[in-house]
Amino acid sequence: MALPDGLIVIAKRECPTCTLVEPLLARLAAGGAPLTVLVQDDPAYAAGVPGAVFDSTLEQSFRLGIEFVPTLIRMAGGREVARTHGWHRGDWQEISGQPDLGADLPPLRPGCASKTLDPGIAEALQLRYGSTGLTARNVTLGDAEDPVEACHDRGWTDGLPVVPPTPERVLRMLAGTPRAPGEVLGLVPPDLAPCTVEKVAINAVMAGCKPEYMPLVLAAVEAALIDEFGMHGILCTTMFCGPLVVVNGPMGRAVGVNSGVNALGQGHRANASIGRALQLVIRNVGGGRPGEVDRATLGTPGKYSFCFAEAEIPEWEPLHVQRGFAREASTVTLFAGEGVQGVVDQKSRTPESLAKSFAACLRVVDHPKLAMAGDAILVVSPDHCRVFLEAGWSKARLLDELTRLLTVPGEQLVAGADGIAEGIPAALAGKPIPKFRPGGLLIVRAGGGAGLFSAIIAGWAASGPVGSIPVTKEITA
């Protein structure tokens, strides 16, 4: 309906402030200026007031951009010239042109949220009357089809049930980012299919994300598309790896990415769904499906989801600072990770002893006789970290000590040594050989506050410039 010049009041019965101003509406209607009252919930509200209309579809409220009730608007010459919401006596008197309106009422009362903002209703109104920017095709299901089973049948899942990505849910997810739905992030391997923000939102819905996770998911997807990360190779290798997401900075803490008890395990929605959303994007947008391009001999459970945050403390430089970002920045670091190898040392009370334990366990990454093949992340628990902190060791000092301990004579590692055919080329005998390439060992602090246990996450055995190197992407709002 076309709204005439004059006054417009938008209200709903369940709002106490709307009930407060209801007796004033008849006076406004008699004041000379045309009055339209749009009622959102109860047709009996303002009964008998000329110009009262039940906005049953909420179309008019939506088109007027109503966020609060009551709202008073003055229209002149076909355009809005004044607006106030809630009850503010001075504003109502000025906009209505009635200087004594509501003189017996309190000077100020806050309003309530408009019904147009109710969960589910806001998205439905946007789809019906607004511009959404959504371009992905809608798949129509039969009346007898179960939406969850339909996702399985069409190959859109990772083997576990997903949340059906209805347009309403996708719109709600897109509210978590100011980026346009049609913005293209890049080409997702292996099919090199264009990936838009909307497609990320669809898969974030399916993964079970909250809208506030979207900035982290977008950053993770963008990181996976950086050439140096080698996502195509990570997919098609017969080895075990998949993308691991390490979150740093305040945004991860704000949305609840777990860095503490069971940080590498289940039970935290942000960890589970952010990592899963990335994997679903690679599957559903890029076509990276097991048995097709994904040719892993054994794989790893981390290919469902692998995401955790670093438990940052002032005494140790967090990972993103070591990688060149400001401490107050929020980032995701992607690492081609395999499984989790436990490090159990409950007796070391000096940093020298504990560093030797770590080095002994790190030697077996990929194979004790392979060097500079796979990267690794050493996840140091708070109890183990305390051993280094009390001795004044920084993370950088620990890394230097591990590098020294993990550099051994080449003759110990060459093929055939110790009767083991596996090993490095014989030409490297007599040379000092480091276990990891420069920059190939990352150290992250995470885990619960009790337990003298740490962990090693081995990287892809093709780590490095010719395979995959860790990449870090800043998270933007």
pLDDT at 477 over 80: no
Q: Which domain holds residue 432?
A: 150-415+424-474
pLDDT in tens, 35-63: 999 999 999 999 999 999 999 999 999 99
- Bridge partners of residue 52, in order along the sequence: 37
Per-position b or e across 2-15, b if 16+ CB within 10 A of its CB: ebeebbbbbbbbeb
291 in any annotated domain? yes
Are 266 and 399 part of one and the same domain? yes
141, part of any domain: no
Q: Look at residue 134 and tell me if it is in a domain.
A: no
3 state SS of 293:
coil
Count of Cβ atoms closer than 10 Å to residue 304 Cβ: 16
Domain shared by 101 and 156, yes or no: no
Could you tell me if 211 and 102 lie in one domain? no
- CATH of residue 36's domain is 3.40.30.10
- Look at 306 and 138; give whichever has higher pLDDT: 306
Position 87: which residue type?
W
Q: Which residues pair with 316 in a beta bridge?
A: 313
Q: Indicate if 217 and 345 belong to the same structural domain.
A: yes
For residue 450, tell me if it sits in a domain: yes
Is the pLDDT higher at 291 or at 72? 72
What is the C-alpha separation between 429 and 222, in angstroms, rounded? 42
Q: What is the pLDDT of residues 359-400, one digit of tens each?
A: 999 999 999 999 999 999 999 999 999 999 999 999 999 999
Write out 375-419 in H/E/C secondary structure: CEEEEECHHHHHHHHHCCCCHHHHHHHHHHHCEEEHHHCECCHHH
pLDDT confidence tier of residue 142, bands split at 50, 70 and 90? confident
* Residue 164 lies inside a defined structural domain of this protein: yes
What is the rounded average pLDDT of the residues 306-315? 97
pTM metric for this prediction: 0.90
The amino acid occupying position 446 is: A
The mean pLDDT of the chain is 95
Q: For residue range 423-463, what is the model confidence (pLDDT) as tens digits?
A: 999 999 999 999 999 999 999 999 999 999 999 999 999 99
- 87 and 172 within one domain: no
The partner residues of 473 in beta bridges, in order of sequence, read: 332
Condensed to tens digits (0 to 9), the pLDDT of residues 324-347 reads 999 999 999 999 999 999 999 999
pLDDT band of 143, cuts 50, 70, 90: confident
Q: What is the DSSP code string of 61-104? A: HHHTT--EESEEEEEETTEEEEEEESEEHHHHHHHHT-TTTTTT
> Do 267 and 349 belong together in one domain?
yes
Q: Note the pLDDT of residue 195.
A: 97
Tokens representing 276 are 């899963």
DSSP assignment string, 204-218: HHHHT--GGGHHHHH
| pLDDT for residue 31 | 86
Confidence category of residue 1, pLDDT binned at 50, 70, 90: low
In angstroms, the Cα distances linking 397 to 81, 309, 312, 360, 439 are 66, 22, 17, 17, 14
Q: Is residue 1 situated within a structural domain? A: no
pLDDT band at 204 (very low <50, low <70, confident <90, very high): very high
Instruction: Examine the fold and report which residue of 118, 136, 168 is the final residue of a domain before the chain moves on.
Output: 118
